[in-house]
Structure 1
Amino acid sequence: MQVGYARTSTEEQVAGLEAQVRDVKVAGCEEVFSEQVSALGDRKELDRALKFLRKGDTLVVTKIDRLARNTRTLGELVDGLHGRGVGLKVLQFGKETLDTTGAYGRLMLNMFAAFAEFERDLMRERQKEGIAKAKAEKKYKGRKPTARAKAGEAVVLFQQQKSVSEIAASLGIGRGSVYRALAAAGLR
């Protein structure tokens, strides 16, 4: 059985998530797990997908970075899959599909993962340089403090007997941000 996994980092990336779900279904996935969460966050749907997979199944993703942020994490994940007799297919490699059930596929996966990590590192370096330049020119504003902007809403929801997890999910902020908002309001 082919099992699909789709992920975007933010809730604003709805079209990207829908495209991934569509692509893994077109590839023949009978079951699809999807979520909108950072790769650094708690990926509950990925955990569910991994528990769902059985020997002989194949996990299908559109891109490597939907599964892991670095080669170490990817290697651990793939080793765990292969140890259970589960394959991995990555759909978007130009016109090719990468299947890691063979030695060639595993080699290519590691190479592409290393290049992807290298590219991410270069992007971070350029971003740091750009921020430093903008700060020097007094043009840097930083990102908007979204959690702080929603602190009042968090307090109101808490007063309506909502749990911290429910508040965080409904406002699209982390649980820690909810706790900070409640502490600032003297409620925790």
Structure 2
Amino acid sequence: MKGQKVGYVRVSSVEQNTGRQLEGIEVDRIFVDRASGKNTDRPKFQEMLNYVREGDRVIVHSMDRFARSLKDLVTEVDKLVKRGIAIQFVKENITFTAQSTPMDNLMLQLMGAFAQFEREIILERQKEGIKLASVQGKYKGRVHKLKPDKAEALRQAWKEGQYPSKMALGQAFGISRQAVYRYLKAGEELS
């Protein structure tokens, strides 16, 4: 049974270009996530997993676009293969199927481990760079969107119950719900 070729593309931010990942590769359907790959809880990733059927082939640019951790990579590839779905990684030039050999599985483990190691090294270098820049006075951290008086007004509005939810409060002040939590927590620490 010949199935569909299903492409999966992931970029970490809205600004990143998705075009190059599967350039020149014909697919019947493509799923694009604009989200971090730190876990498998990505909308289009989950939609793709629900869409594919036995005999289909999932085509991904590279292992690090599919999963960031070795555990997630091995788990998700294994789930697909057990369902009779092939998964092809273009950059690594490797495909996994139900007929994959123990050597193929070893390659998956090794390549996944190297990809995870590379990510961890990049994060370590980033932290070292931030620390060095901080010591030199060049790094100031995240820019706060609200000035102190606005932050206090936000906390007061919440305390007085002027908004039904933190989401509504954030919308009124032009910040995300997560930022509302940060400002409220910072206010508790000041008290």
What is the TM-score with the length of structure 1 in the denominator? 0.71
Deviation at 1:106, TM superposition (A): 2.9
1:30 and 1:181 mapped to 2: Cα distance? 46
1:118 and 1:44 mapped to 2: Cα distance? 26
Instruction: Please name the residue that 1:8 is paired with.
Output: 11
1:2-151 matches, within 5 Å, as: 2-13=5-16, 15=17, 17-20=18-21, 22-23=22-23, 26-40=24-38, 42-93=41-92, 97-101=93-97, 102-103=100-101, 104-145=103-144, 148=145
Deviation at 1:174, TM superposition (A): 5.5
Secondary structure class of the residue paired with 1:92: coil
Secondary structure class of the residue paired with 1:60: strand
Secondary structure class of the residue paired with 2:33: strand
1:134 and 1:83 mapped to 2: Cα distance? 48
1:143 and 1:65 mapped to 2: Cα distance? 27
Report % sequence identity.
36
Q: How many pairs does the alignment contain?
A: 162
Secondary structure class of the residue paired with 2:91: strand
What is the TM-score with the length of structure 2 in the denominator? 0.70
Gaps of at least 5 residues in structure 1 are: 156-163, 183-188
1:50/1:174 CA distance change after superposition, 3 Å: farther
1:62 and 1:46 mapped to 2: Cα distance? 14
The superposition leaves residues 53-90 of structure 1 with CA deviations (integer Å, 9 ceiling, x where unpaired) of: 10111111001111111100111111111121111100
1:6/1:175 CA distance change after superposition, 3 Å: farther
1:175 and 1:19 mapped to 2: Cα distance? 33
Gaps of at least 5 residues in structure 2 are: 155-166, 185-191
The superposition leaves residues 80-129 of structure 1 with CA deviations (integer Å, 9 ceiling, x where unpaired) of: 11121111100012xxx210122243332221111111111111222222
Q: Choose between structure 1 and 2: higher helix proportion.
A: 1
Amino acid at match of 1:114: A
Instruction: Please name the residue that 1:176 is paired with.
Output: 178
